[in-house]
Amino acid sequence: MADELDIPESHPRYESLLTRHRIEAGVEKGITSKQGLIAEGRGEAFDYLLGERTLESAETAERVAAAHLLLADRPVLSVNGNVAALVPGEIGELAAATGAEIEVNLFNRTDERMAAIASHLREHGAGEVKGLDADGRIPGLEHERAKVDADGIESADVVLVPLEDGDRAEALGEMGKTEIVIDLNPLSRSAQVAAVPIVDNVLRAVPNITAHARELDEESDATLEAIIAEFDPNAALQAAEQAIRSGDLK
């Protein structure tokens, strides 16, 4: 989805310019926080070291993520400020392709940001957006960080948490949920605790998961389970770390 950026997709810096453009729009709309901008910069550096491409190991993880979302009884896509700013339309498409719910979940929760993000997602085609009720809790986190919807993340079996904070990723794992994490730092705690760590840029990862979900949509549960069973999260993390270490860094 090209949004309102007026340059061709073939431009060598297209993805980078689109990212910058959407993040700046996010700041103007009150969606992206100061911490979100710093986090964006951290992601840029790791993506640069990875060569700004989807590793084969990440592509595999994205396929496994699609299988998990399709097999799940109650899949939820957790959306924070940066995710909403960067891939608002792509999250809606992934939800539609997998039957997942969308829930806004912020590290720095304020009513204004919650509302701004929900309306931004709806403007980009999302249906129902959860997270505003906040009638559920994640055990082990302090009050504001713990808030979720009872019929959303609290009762989900599979949760996609792109760009998630380490504490919350760990707490969600302890609730027994199958966690799919998208994080460009293979050594972040979030990536380390995930059942499916995807070391890739959300701009590439989310549409890739959607494409895999569409392709796998007609497959049997046994086929999806076989795809999942073959996956080794530690091998995926090691491949990403290896790419950072041995890449030509240009």
By CB under 8 A, is residue 244 in contact with its own copies? yes
By CB under 8 A, is residue 246 in contact with its own copies? yes
Output phi, psi for 150, to 5 deg.
Answer: -60, -40
By CB under 8 A, is residue 107 in contact with its own copies? no
Binding to its own copies (CB under 8 A): which residues in 145-164? none
**Judged by CB under 8 A, which stretch of 1-9, 68-76, 155-163, 241-249 contacts its own copies?**
241-249
In the complex, the smallest distance separating the C-beta of residue 16 from its own copies, rounded to whole angstroms, is 11
By CB under 8 A, is residue 58 in contact with its own copies? no
Nearest-angstrom CA–CA distance, 35 and 136: 25
| End-to-end CA, the chain | 27
Tell me the β-bridge partners of 148: 136
> What is the maximal distance between C-alpha atoms in the chain?
49
In the complex, the smallest distance separating the C-beta of residue 99 from its own copies, rounded to whole angstroms, is 34
Nearest-angstrom CA–CA distance, 77 and 94: 9
Antiparallel, parallel or unpaired: β 147-148 and 136-137:
antiparallel
Nearest-angstrom CA–CA distance, 50 and 79: 24
Q: Is 189 within any annotated ligand binding site?
A: yes
Q: Residues 17, 45, 150, 226: which binds its own copies (CB under 8 A)? A: 45
By CB under 8 A, is residue 250 in contact with its own copies? yes
In the complex, the smallest distance separating the C-beta of residue 11 from its own copies, rounded to whole angstroms, is 19
Query: Residue 62 corresponds to which tokens in the numbers above?
Result: 């994205």
Q: Residues 25, 37, 175, 228: which binds its own copies (CB under 8 A)? A: 37
Nearest-angstrom CA–CA distance, 48 and 243: 11
Q: Is 74 within any annotated ligand binding site?
A: no
Contacts of residue 204, defined as CB under 8 A and 6 or more positions apart, other chains included, come to 15, 54
DSSP 182: E
Q: Is 190 within any annotated ligand binding site?
A: yes
Which residues define the annotated binding site? 20, 42, 183-185, 189-190, 201-202
| Residues engaged in binding its own copies (CB under 8 A) | 23-24, 27, 34, 37-46, 48-49, 185, 187, 241, 244-246, 249-250
Annotated binding-site residue numbers for ATP:
20, 42, 183-185, 189-190, 201-202
